[in-house]
Amino acid sequence: MIRYAKPTTIDEALTLLGEASWSILAGGTDFYPTQGAKPFRENVLDINGLATLRGIAETDSHWLIGARTTWTDLVRYPLPAAFDALKQAALEVGSVQIQNVASVAGNLCNASPAADGVPALLVLDAEVELRSVAMVRHLPLEKFILGNRRTELQPGEMVTAIRVSKNAATGTSAFEKLGARRYLVISIAMAAARLTIEDGIVSNAAVAVGSCSAVARRLASVEAALRGLPVNGALVAAIQSASMDELSPIDDVRGSAEYRLDAAREIVARAVLGAAGHASDDKAVAA
Amino acid sequence: MSKAQPGMTKVQPGMSGAQPGMSGAQPGMSMERADIAFEVNGAAVSVCVPPVRRLSSVLRDELRLTGTKVGCDAGDCGACTVLVDGEPVCACLMSAASAAGTVVTTVEGLANGRLSALQASFLVHGAAQCGICTPGLLIAATALLDSNPNPTEAETQDALGGVLCRCTGYRKIVAAVMDAGRFASASTDGAAPHPPAGTFSPYSDGEKGQVSAPATPSPRLSRREGKGDGQHQLQRLDLDRRMPISGHAVGSSPIRLDGLPKVTGGEKFGGDSFPAEALAVLVVRSPHYHARFAFGDLDAWVKVHPGIVGVFTAADVPGKNCFGVIAPFADQPALAENFSRFRGEAVALVAGEREAILDLDLADFPVRWIELPHLLQPCEAQAGGAELIHENRPANLLTSGFVERGDPEAALAGAAFIVSGAIDTSYVEHAYIEPEAGCAYMDGDTLVVVACTQAPYMDRDDVAKVLGLAVDKVRIVPTATGGGFGSKLDVSLQPLIGLVAMKTGRPAALAYTRHESMISTTKRHPAEMKATIGADADGRVTGMIFAGDFNTGAYASWGPTVANRVPVHASGPYATPNYRAEGRAIHTNGPISGAFRGFGVPQATIMQETLYDELAERLDLDRLDFRLKNCLRNGSETVTGQRLESGVGIAECLEALRPHWMRALIDADTFNSANDSRKRGVGVASCWYGCGNTSLPNPSTIRVGISAEGDVVLHQGAVDIGQGSNTVIAQICADALGLPLEKFRLKSADTAITPDAGKTSASRQTFVTGKAAEKAGRALRDTMLRFANVSEKAAIALEGASLAIREGEATRHIDLSTLKADADGLVFRAEESYDPPTLPLDAKGQGKPYAVYGYGAQIAELEVDLKLGTVKLVKITAAHDVGKAINPLLAEGQIEGGIAQGIGMALMEEYIPGRTENLHDYLIPTIGDVPPIETILIEVPDPEGPFGAKGLGEHVLIPTAPAILNAIRHATGVLVCKIPATPSRIRAAIRDKEARR
């Protein structure tokens, strides 16, 4: 007989994780579609009894997003403007029905190349908190998601929180999503940008693009090119000429690789302008 | 886990037939059950299920709250939306364990002794067509209205973006939600008295699905009240049904007669009335496009799987294992024999107790596959030496259709202007929100199949043939059908569940998964088309040559119909004196292409209408003027040589669009002069479409009578898949009969009780069945007048169980209860048939293929983001000549819904086998993708149609995609030649154009 457990404390959950192999059930929005009509053959660890994992908290140094925090929870929680991109992404995750139960952390664990939450968390320099009976470790998000559907999660470990350093939670941010219809759409490409602007000059820039590589990527050359620029047409010009070597899109049913590269540059420009408060009138169909 | 509280309803697992101890035989497999308690619609409930069981399954299967629908089991469609602690969630993605201790509201909990304001608004606006998505929409909108009683359009769309609807085009849904507040105050008891709500339900007699209802107590208490009368006790509908007075039914828009259960959750679709003791059925399907296969020891496999009752293969099929909608082309086995021809083909059935099937892993099922080379493209299938998919069909050509008139080569050679082009289209999935579902059982020696369908009598004949039964030993009981659009014309699971019921003697139930529905049922044909059109210097079209190859997939289905319809229609509704068109249906190992709203004509119209834009440009003529110059008129001859004496309404449609066209062009110019990176475009396209079968008989029969109780009983056999035939046919009959619509009681299309009104297809029901209903209504009236010995000028009325007949000053009353009733309980009755007069097409496709044509034209206004290739639709204006709008509100609903499907076809829908077999990779329009639609109903009466009416159902989809493509071309200067015009393809075309500069 396969096992089902719904622990009510993290210690209990970690002990169970140390005992056997489990599939973790949180919001269920990836769990059930993956399961389809197949019978259950794996132990299921239901973490929905872990009340302490739901919600957003603030420490002296960090913002902590508990692993069970839903997209709706996030949208409703007052956060600094640096989180605006993440909140805009939240509103594009599936539908309201999905946002009401799907967890932000689950979006990371599912490790889809098209995960809408990843670019916005990358520009926040987010870390993932992993716990096992033996230890707690913090991994930068870039080091947690390894590839398409692959993460650094080890046997016996679970994600307990997403951490954002207050040093990174500064400035303003924006998110752009490109899809072939308005709602319920898997992104062809998406971009998040966070800018710190001092005296009309970009002092810091963080830019990430998703759906254009196996894992969403920060764009180092674009960020470098933006730093020190005045907030005007120079931003777009810099983006137009900067390297986006990090991206390696594929052809699929949603668009060609060539199209993705072309469109990525455009939505990066729009996200940067959005973060700079120069919202372009040009909105993608699904933006 | 919460403990059951005292006094609550204790519900046992629905499938009590599950054998105790069976899980022990599969060590380490199933999961222990737990008691889970929560509140549903105000009632405390407890169930004992595995904690990871989906909440949707708990609601439907354990609590029998089948108003919550399952469309995808993946959060892609939102049909299962329920409120959990006030927030909308997809019940298919929530575990039973997560529901423990919560308060759940389903659609059954929305009514509160009377309909909620939102439910009333849905009825009034005609926001429910088939009704399968309606519960999800109502729940999502209820959550919105609870916090925001007066939402904007954008707020409404944001809140409902997670629920897909395939019928309505969403516009009436948006209107109903935004307008709901009006009904909160208006639904007072001061409204005019109305008869009991159930009176008008076509299924109020319980003929539909005479399967045993489970004894399980259902929590149906109302929302917010905690306790009270459930929706099933709704005694009154406190709103104006807009019931027309006697003689004025045609042209009025009463609330659809079958509307009430669609908004209460009471409607029973294919998967909503499974008997508790039914065996569950799993279908083993080919994972390969083409493969040889052999079974191992099936009996031994059954023995080691407790709860599995049997496995059935082609060897068990008692009749002819070959079905098909067009008898001479029938070629599809119910269960494949030795090799499969497409991915998803059924090869075996596993029947078992429901819990055993739920826990069954087919990984060890004893079947060995040997994959064989496959052909997916028509060009591969036509290549010399290509293997034949059916031995008797050389070159993998199923059949071809041909129409020739005049001398097209000479006409093109002499033309002042010639344009040529090529267009390719994709497989399009019907994507009705209800996957195929039904159950079958033996009633004595008669097999009863209770399932969703568009064609009960065709189902009956094919099931009888496959199962070796006489046709009168098969009874098809259609359930409500949650969308069909052509695919539910073909049998799917009917012979499969029928076989299990026959072999086991137990009821057998099956609901396809979304994946199973998508891989195994029919699609719209992908087309590869080429055409050349020429015009003289005055702008008159002189000739056209068209050739189209249609990928018909592994089996015939409706491929012959597509091959024949396309050449007849590829000219568009334009006079084309010299013409040749060929349509070929070519087999591949791809999905079976069958019927889908328009039978190939939407594809061909893209070819023709995009070339018309190019030709107008070459002629330097306004695109609308060019169409008006060439459109068919009364007295014109079609490309089949059919002289259309009267009733040709295309010019009226185009003229009605003219002011909108002028305004739209100015709007686009204004916008474009102010914007560089986004450009507006305006496009127009027309349609014509012959109603009914092409040169083949397709009679409808209607029986109508007067019961001893004083009701008009209409045996309404035209299956209503949402389009409204239950209402429209009754309206026609009412006025022919001269009695008020509110006296009508409908009998369903059950083959045991109602005569054959033909399939719901080919835009034929309003015209063909409507004509039969008109004739039957008149005949019944004549019968009564003769009985009373009065002239045809007499007026009749039903007053209780009395028939009042007035002529001049004299009134007679006939006490109906004193008359002898027949087996149907009727004291007066009439039955009439109608078959449209057509003539065969000769070798050159000349003849009179249809008795009636309908016409239409649409304008698309849109904005293209030049940098991203995305399209934002601004407005669609649609003018359709319906002859006579029997029910204008339902006609509008058809138009809006057809346009939504045309939008999908134009911009996003592309079914790729193996890649897009779900509703998140296969995209259909959401509520945010359909712009405002302005409908203009044109009434140019047809001399043949009932009250002048023409068909409409398919016409509405045809102009949309070409109008959109023409608008994109207007905006960008590029025509996308591979459909759908996705952002990627539009942007590539723009880039190519920029590179050519």
B709, B801 in Cβ contact below 8 A? yes
Phi, psi values for residue B56, rounded to 5°: -60, -40
Report the CATH number that the domain containing residue B21 is assigned in CATH. 3.10.20.30
Whether A266 and B867 lie within 8 Å, measured CB to CB: yes
Helix (H, G, I), strand (E, B) or coil at B177: helix
Return the residue of B nearest to A186 by Cα. Answer: B920
Domain boundary, last residue among B206, B236, B264: B264
In a domain, B226, yes or no: yes
Question: Which token pair is B279?
Answer: 């065996």
Q: Which of A72, A128, A59 is nearest to A99 (CA)?
A: A72
Check whether the bond before B456 is cis (ω within 30° of 0): no
Q: Which of B399, B510, B377, B434 is nearest to B913 (CA)?
A: B377
Instruction: For chain A, give every domain's residue range.
Output: 172-286
Query: What pLDDT is attached to residue A278?
Result: 77
User: What are the tens digits of pLDDT across the range A236-259?
Assistant: 999 999 999 999 999 999 999 999
Nearest CA-CA distance, residue A184 and chain B, Å? 6
The residue-averaged pLDDT of A109-115 equals 97
Q: How buried is residue B806: exposed, middle or buried, by Cβ count under 10 Å (0-12/13-18/19+)?
A: middle
* Residues of A whose CB is below 8 A from B869: 259, 263
Q: Are residues B96 and B179 in the same domain?
A: no
Query: What pLDDT is attached to residue B21?
Result: 36
Interface of B with A in 148-167 (CB under 8 A): 157-159, 161-164
In a domain, B410, yes or no: no
Query: What pLDDT is attached to residue B112?
Result: 82
Q: How far apart are CA B585 and CA B378, in angstroms?
A: 9
Q: Are residues B119 and B250 in the same domain?
A: yes
Return the residue of A nearest to B27 by Cα. Answer: A1
Q: How far apart are CA A203 and CA B446, in angstroms?
A: 81
Interface of B with A in 857-876 (CB under 8 A): 865, 867-872
Q: How far apart are CA B677 and CA B119, in angstroms?
A: 43
How many contacts does A have with B, using Cβ atoms within 8 A?
198
Sheet arrangement for strand B81-84: B9-10, B43-49, B34-40, B103-105, B81-84, B87-90
Q: How far apart are CA B502 and CA B310, in angstroms?
A: 12
B862, B963 in Cβ contact below 8 A? no
Q: Which of B271, B284, B200, B272 is nearest to B237 (CA)?
A: B200
In a domain, B459, yes or no: yes
Q: Are residues B761 and B885 in the same domain?
A: no
In a domain, B82, yes or no: yes
Question: Which token pair is B930?
Answer: 């359909």
Return the residue of A nearest to B987 by Cα. Answer: A259
Q: Which residues lie closer than 8 Å to A149 by C-beta, 6 or more apart?
A: A110, A111, A112
Whether B915 and A256 lie within 8 Å, measured CB to CB: no
- The helix (H) or strand (E) run that includes residue B656 is helix B650-674
Question: What sign for the dihedral angle of Cα A138, A142, A146, A151?
Answer: positive
Q: What is the largest CA-CA distance in chain A?
A: 65
Looking from the CA of B576 toward its CB, the CA atoms found within 13 Å total 30
Q: Tell me the percentage of chain A whose pLDDT exceeds 70.
A: 97
A139 pLDDT above the threshold of 60: yes
Domain boundary, last residue among B230, B264, B298: B264
Question: What sign for the dihedral angle of Cα A121, A122, A123, A124?
Answer: positive
Question: What are B355's strand-pairing partners?
Answer: none
Of A95, A181, A262, the CB nearest to B923: A181
Phi, psi values for residue B663, rounded to 5°: -60, -45
Domain boundary, last residue among B834, B854, B885: B834
Nearest CA-CA distance, residue A265 and chain B, Å? 10
Please give the DSSP secondary-structure letter assigned to residue A189.
E
Q: Are residues B97 and B114 in the same domain?
A: no
Q: How far apart are CA B148 and CA B142, in angstroms?
A: 10
Residue with structure tokens 């609308």? B624
Query: What pLDDT is attached to residue B4?
Result: 39
Question: Which token pair is B446?
Answer: 């008669």
Mutation target for A interface from B23, B29, B52: give the one with most A CBs within 10 A. B52
B391 touches chain A (CB under 8 A): no
H, E, C per residue of B27-72 = CCCCECCEEEEEEECCEEEEEEECCCCEHHHHHHHHCCCCCCCCCC
Nearest CA-CA distance, residue B506 and chain A, Å? 24
User: What are the tens digits of pLDDT across the range A206-218?
Assistant: 999 999 999 999 9
Report the CATH number that the domain containing residue B905 is assigned in CATH. 3.30.365.10
- For chain B, count helices (H), then strands (E): 24, 34
In a domain, B771, yes or no: yes
Q: Are residues B485 and B345 in the same domain?
A: yes
Q: Tell me whether strands B712-715 and B853-865 are parallel, antiparallel or unpaired.
A: unpaired
Query: What pLDDT is attached to residue B215?
Result: 37
Return the residue of B nearest to A267 by Cα. Answer: B868
H, E, C per residue of B186-207 = HCCCCCCCCCCHHHHCCCCCCC
Q: How buried is residue B472: exposed, middle or buried, by Cβ count under 10 Å (0-12/13-18/19+)?
A: exposed
Q: Are residues B798 and B857 in the same domain?
A: no
Tally of domains within chain B: 5
Query: What pLDDT is attached to residue A279?
Result: 59
Q: Are residues B716 and B754 in the same domain?
A: yes
In a domain, B418, yes or no: no
Q: Are residues B927 and B897 in the same domain?
A: yes
Q: How far apart are CA A58 and CA B16, in angstroms?
A: 51
Q: How far apart are CA B660 and CA B665, in angstroms?
A: 9
A285 pLDDT above the threshold of 70: no
Q: Are residues B660 and B682 in the same domain?
A: yes
Instruction: Name which residue leads in pLDDT, B113 or A221.
Output: A221
In a domain, B976, yes or no: yes
Q: What is the mean pLDDT of chain A?
A: 96
Q: Are residues B724 and B750 in the same domain?
A: yes
* Residues of B whose CB is below 8 A from A1: 23, 27-32
Q: How far apart are CA A175 and CA A194, in angstroms?
A: 9
Phi, psi values for residue B195, rounded to 5°: -65, 165
Query: What pLDDT is attached to residue B12?
Result: 41
Helix (H, G, I), strand (E, B) or coil at B948: helix
Query: What pLDDT is attached to residue B30?
Result: 75
Question: What are the residue ranges in chain B where pLDDT is below 50?
Answer: 1-28, 186-235
Mutation target for B interface from A181, A260, A281: give the one with most B CBs within 10 A. A181
Nearest CA-CA distance, residue B864 and chain A, Å? 9
A117, A164 in Cβ contact below 8 A? no
Domain A172-286 adopts which CATH fold?
Enolase-like; domain 1 (3.30.390)
Question: What are B579's strand-pairing partners?
Answer: B405, B544
Report the CATH number that the domain containing residue B115 is assigned in CATH. 1.10.150.120
> Which domain covers residue B230, as residue numbers?
110-264
Q: Are residues B338 and B446 in the same domain?
A: yes
Q: Are residues B882 and B992 in the same domain?
A: yes
